[in-house]
Amino acid sequence: MADVRESTDRGDVIAAIDVGTNSVHMVVARVEPDAGIEVLTRHKETVRLGESASEMKTLSEDGIDRAVAALKRCADIAGPLGAEVRAVATSAVREAHNAHELLSRAATEAGVEVEVISGVEEARLIHLGVLAAMPVFEKTIAVCDIGGGSTEVLVGRGTDILAVRSFKLGAIRLTRRFFPDGEVLPGALDAARVFVRETMLPFALEALERAPEMLIGSSGTIETMVRMALAARGEDQKAKSLNGVAVTFAEVQRALNTVAAIPTAAGRAGVAGLDAGRLDIIVGGGVILEQVMEALGQTRLGYSDFALREGVLLDAFQRRTGSALHHLSDIRRKGVERLMLLGDEDAEHTRRVAALAFNLFEALQVTLGLDDDAAELLEAAALLSNVGVMVAHSKHHLHSYYVIRSSDRLVGFTDGELEVIAQVARYHRKSAPSTRHREFAALDEDRQRLVRSLAAILRVAVGLDRSHRGSVADVDVRIDDAEVRIRLVPSEGLDVDTEAHAAQERAALLSDVSGRSVVVSA
């Protein structure tokens, strides 16, 4: 079901539709001048265009009917939002000799012009989507997207493509060849593995020369494999977002072996994390993922929430405006900034607090046992600590938690990172983190320790701009075995007594997490 939000006049509203082998999937989003993506609504329908028995050379009449009906519903959703519609079709349509029937009916009956794209173009757009979802712009990455009829694998750095290939290896295609109706017969699993491995070998050698630092996967097949791996760990795999979640090769292989050991599709219904719509095709899709990881020598797989559709959004915006996409290297901060400006009534005060929090972090990092990544989470929490005022001034710290957790603007963060950011923002004032609070109690010990430490820093930093005048220019922090001494460096001509008093009042949690008394002086 689509979750429609009210559109405004800011930015360009674009609807990107992916007519795939397995499903028709649409995302409608506002793409702002800096190319940030604010998702307004999503819609997905399973249509199984590639279900015919003709090796995907013919689209079935039933499949065409389902796809046209789905496109009509997509247009009905996108229209009231004033969205420009861009629809692309992938493997099943580009290989079918009767693709014109679908394209003609889509235009006349649904009012949607569908563009058939090549496998390489599909891979390029998927890569753009991944860059918008994860902070990997400066890394050499391998990207894999497993569809129903094809699998796209790309190695890139920034927006540069170093190696790319589209394989006629898809979850539906492989299922029909080796696992008809989802049934796993003796020898079929090994035969499928050999087939995929041999198909990929020439490209794998080329990709390995580019030395990818990590592998990122997208699409429903890979999401399902990740969810099964998380379920096998005993972790919650029903989080709102899996973006940035990583699983190991061993976990992927274990998930594949689990479903392959069940000979029928119906028998897999009880497997934790397995989408009911993929009971028959998950073994085929799992074999592809396993072999891609092995061929590229990757022991870990990261998951991206964004893929082809989000890439289409960015590409459409770029074509319209001529904007470059180098900004994607800083996509996380841009999302934080946009949400802060939407909800914060005194953004300059908030930026000062974030800067002071970072200065405190640098001085306290070793003492508190924090890694470098924690600095970015602290900055995000500081910048978003007051967004709850858009709901109400009273108890705005509680509202900030829910605004952060429900926002679609914060792309590039994992669900776990967003939870830490939201909780640190929630504890920037009033009560300290406590296991009496349901959300904090649900965190593991490491994340509880992280939230307490970052919240302790942020609470003091808030006090350091108590008058909202920028009175404190900097802090000088000295630490010994018994004491953390914070000396305030005033801005020229300004008094900092109020800030010293306010910071001291907020220092109890910092004293607790550091195991030292805290003294704040002007």
- Contacts (Cβ under 8 Å, ≥6 apart) of 390: 342, 343, 399, 403
Nearest to 274 by CA among 338, 221, 202, 208: 221
Residue 263: predicted pLDDT: 97
The number of beta carbons lying within 10 Å of the beta carbon of residue 342 is: 14
Helix segments in 86-145, DSSP class H: 91-95, 99-105, 119-133
Residue 308: predicted pLDDT: 93
Identify each DSSP E strand in 282-441 by its residue range: 300-303
Which amino acid is residue 449, in one-letter code? R
Is-contact 501 451, C-beta < 8 A? no
Residue 65: predicted pLDDT: 96
- What structural domains does the chain harbor? 12-117+316-324 (3.30.420.40), 135-303 (3.30.420.150), 331-521 (1.10.3210.10)
Is-contact 463 432, C-beta < 8 A? no
Residue 56 φ/ψ, nearest 5 degrees? 60, 25
Distance CA 144, CA 171 (A): 13
Does this model's pTM top 0.85? My answer is no
For 438-480, write each residue's pLDDT tens digit. Answer: 999 989 899 999 999 999 999 999 999 999 999 999 999 999 9
Distance CA 182, CA 176 (A): 8
Q: What is the pLDDT along the chain (522 residues), one digit of tens a residue?
A: 344 444 344 568 999 999 988 889 999 998 875 546 788 999 999 998 866 555 678 898 999 999 999 999 999 999 999 999 999 998 889 888 899 999 999 999 999 999 998 888 899 999 999 998 888 988 999 999 999 889 999 999 998 889 999 999 999 999 999 999 999 999 999 999 999 999 999 999 999 999 999 999 999 999 999 999 999 999 877 777 899 999 999 999 999 999 999 999 999 999 999 999 999 999 999 999 999 999 999 999 999 999 999 999 888 887 776 665 555 556 678 788 889 998 888 999 999 999 999 999 999 999 999 998 899 999 999 999 999 988 888 888 899 999 998 886 776 677 778 899 999 999 999 999 999 999 999 898 999 999 999 999 999 999 999 999 999 999 999 999 999 999 999 999 999 999 999 999 999 999 999 999 999 998
- Contacts (Cβ under 8 Å, ≥6 apart) of 125: 88, 117, 308, 311, 312, 315
Instruction: Quote the tokens at residue 237.
Output: 């795999």
Give me the half-sphere count of Cα atoms (radius 13 Å) on the Cβ side of residue 362: 9
Do β-strands 483-490 and 246-248 pair in parallel, antiparallel, or remain unpaired?
Answer: unpaired
Residue 22: predicted pLDDT: 83
Q: Tell which phi-psi region holds residue 369, choosing left (phi > 0), alpha (psi between -120 and 50) or beta.
A: left
Exposed e or buried b for every residue in 365-397, given b needs 16+ CB within 10 A?
A: beebebeeebbbbbbbbbbbbbbbbbeeeeebb
Distance CA 451, CA 114 (A): 47
Helix 445-463 / helix 347-368 crossing angle, nearest 10 deg: 130
Question: Which helix (H) or strand (E) covers residue 359, if one does?
Answer: helix 347-368
Distance CA 354, CA 335 (A): 16
Note the residue count of the chain.
Answer: 522
